[in-house]
Homo-oligomer: A and B are copies of this chain.
């Protein structure tokens, strides 16, 4: 089944201890779409300016990602983000944010895409996320990502949107901020009470955890020899997750746990090179190997005491 991905399409200038890339293909919808494209058909909804390189559109289309929902604003500028990561790769600073035509982005879901069963609302203003949902016809599963900014300035809209969402993705700081408690377990319970079915908390190198009425699951962080660029890892995780769900058509606890491991495997590939280089070229065989690493990292034969 197909997935609708709504979010940013960007040009990222990123500097890490491993090197630098200027105007690399990035954005939440791009990372999520490329990850999911390994598993299911994807349609992207976003906006770019006329400065957006044609080769990036070709790259998406070559990956089987539909771009009819990608608006190109004549004379407009594509969203650009610049950041620098420190020796401790978990730390970064933003060098610049040029919103360009992303500033006035009003996502339009083409009528042909309104019935896609899987919807990922990547990190944009929750008011816009709600407008997307209003354009969708009975999606089977809606997943949402957000950020500290929206929790700060759009709290009510975000909570209202969450009522219509199945799975919310947050990092640990965002979960604490949204629920206004320190304990992640308490935060998850509070957020579940907003009406979402599952809360997934991304913890970077510590993996990701999932809370729901069906139980608690901890996906591992995979040990990586070389982290080149962490940008997009969270969106790649999200893309892998919803990609696996769309591929299997299941949304039960078992499928969700497997989907978390698929997301983990793809996210661990994402950080091994700049921009979308690794995930866009990932071979089936390497994907399977990485997935095996993820499953074996938590494999433990049954026992009792």
Q: Let me know if A297 and B87 touch, CB within 8 A.
A: no
- Chain B residue contacts of A298, Cβ below 8 A: 217-218, 220, 298, 300
Q: Let me know if A185 and B287 touch, CB within 8 A.
A: no
Contact of A223 among B209, B258, B261 (CB under 8 A): B209
Given contacts A209-B223, A223-B188, A223-B216, contact A182 B88 (CB under 8 A): yes
Q: Let me know if B300 and A261 touch, CB within 8 A.
A: yes
Q: Is A75 engaged at the interface, CB distance under 8 Å to the other chain?
A: no
Q: Is A19 engaged at the interface, CB distance under 8 Å to the other chain?
A: no
Given contacts A184-B205, A221-B218, A225-B183, contact A258 B88 (CB under 8 A): no
Q: Let me know if A227 and B183 touch, CB within 8 A.
A: yes
Distance A14 CA – B133 CA, assembled complex (angstroms): 51
Q: Let me know if A301 and B218 touch, CB within 8 A.
A: no
Considering the complex, give the chain B residue whose CB is closest to the CB of A291: B305
Interface size on A, residues (CB 8 A): 50
Distance A211 CA – B221 CA, assembled complex (angstroms): 13
Q: Let me know if B258 and A301 touch, CB within 8 A.
A: yes
Which of A87, A185, A257, A262 has most B Cβ within 10 Å? A185
Q: Let me know if A244 and B305 touch, CB within 8 A.
A: yes
- Chain B residue contacts of A299, Cβ below 8 A: 217, 257
Q: Is A295 engaged at the interface, CB distance under 8 Å to the other chain?
A: yes
Q: For the complex formed, measure the closest distance between the CB of A173 and the CB atoms of chain B, giving whole angstroms.
A: 12
Q: Let me know if B305 and A288 touch, CB within 8 A.
A: yes
Per-residue contact bits, chain A 196-233, to B (CB 8 Å; 1 contact, 0 not): 00000001011101010001111011111101000000
Given contacts A185-B223, A186-B225, A188-B223, contact A302 B291 (CB under 8 A): no
Q: Is A149 engaged at the interface, CB distance under 8 Å to the other chain?
A: no
- Chain B residue contacts of A293, Cβ below 8 A: 216
Q: Let me know if A182 and B89 touch, CB within 8 A.
A: yes
- Chain B residue contacts of A304, Cβ below 8 A: 288, 291
Q: Let me know if B183 and A217 touch, CB within 8 A.
A: no
- Chain B residue contacts of A215, Cβ below 8 A: 296-297
Q: Is A170 engaged at the interface, CB distance under 8 Å to the other chain?
A: no
- Chain B residue contacts of A207, Cβ below 8 A: 206, 218
Residues of A whose CB lies within 8 Å of any CB of B are 38-39, 87-89, 182-186, 188, 203, 205-207, 209, 211, 215-218, 220-225, 227, 244, 247, 254, 257-258, 261-262, 287-288, 291, 293, 295-305
Known: A39-B305, A185-B223. 4 other contacts (CB 8 A): A186-B225, A216-B296, A218-B221, A258-B303
